[in-house]
Structure 1
């Protein structure tokens, strides 16, 4: 069950809010302080990617961010809704990707670069697509709370 779930319209100004919420929940979940900047950057990159996909494909559904605190891990899933029913196009570059003159080619390159940045920041990353769209799941280990006598 999610600890926190955010849904926001695909506006770049909402990415900052998602980053701040993710860092606060990660801190509370026990993610190491030294890793919080990586959490912020990775969430910012994933949300910016989702916002870009929504805007370039005229998707009206909100971007979703699900933050889940488990016993030994903290995970964040950023969903883009690109493959959701009624949203038209598949993920850029997957099916029907165009040639070098296709305007989506630049978006594909930017998308791949964003995924590379996320993979460099987070050790445990999963990218998947399904009926609800594309999802980037990022997971960090947590430190159990120390109980003082």
Structure 2
């Protein structure tokens, strides 16, 4: 299992770099060429969401991206350090802020539409979006 880790300041201009790195590593891992645009879009959406959560919450910690290459799959984890849920289901940083909640839900809906295998975890210490795609093994050379 090979892993590439990327950390970047919560600035919108770094999202493009994360998308480019994710697509390059996905290609090397064996993700189907036809799916690479979906990988780029999903990573861009997840990173933009994390950047927004950090900026809105005044969090200075970097956004974390892990690109994980397994034998038959490729996964990308985008992590943030924004508190997501307080008891009672209200946002810990902006309880009652409908605009932020709608944008967050829209971002997650876009990601779910792009990726078949998505897992979202959220808590007081931050959140994690894990997206997984199947890979195809490289062709075996014929002697």
TM-score, normalised to structure 2, is 0.90
Determine the structure 2 residue equivalent to 1:86.
Answer: none
Determine the structure 2 residue equivalent to 1:95.
Answer: 89
Map residues 1-149 of structure 1 onto 2, 5 A cutoff: 3-83=3-83, 90-91=84-85, 95-97=89-91, 102=96, 104-130=97-123, 132-149=125-142
Deviation at 1:108, TM superposition (A): 0.5
Aligned length: 139
Q: Name the CA shift for 1:118/1:71 in 2 (closer, same or farther; >3 Å).
A: same
Separation in structure 1 between the aligned mates of residue 31 and residue 47 of structure 2, nearest angstrom: 20
| Uncovered stretches (5+) of structure 2, i.e. residues with no partner | none
Deviation readout 1:24-66 (Å, 9 max, x if unpaired): 0000000000000000000000000000000000011110000
SS at match of 1:135: strand
Conserved 8 A contact 1:82-1:91:
no
Q: Name the CA shift for 1:135/1:2 in 2 (closer, same or farther; >3 Å).
A: farther
Separation in structure 1 between the aligned mates of residue 66 and residue 124 of structure 2, nearest angstrom: 17
Deviation at 1:142, TM superposition (A): 0.1
Deviation at 1:129, TM superposition (A): 2.3
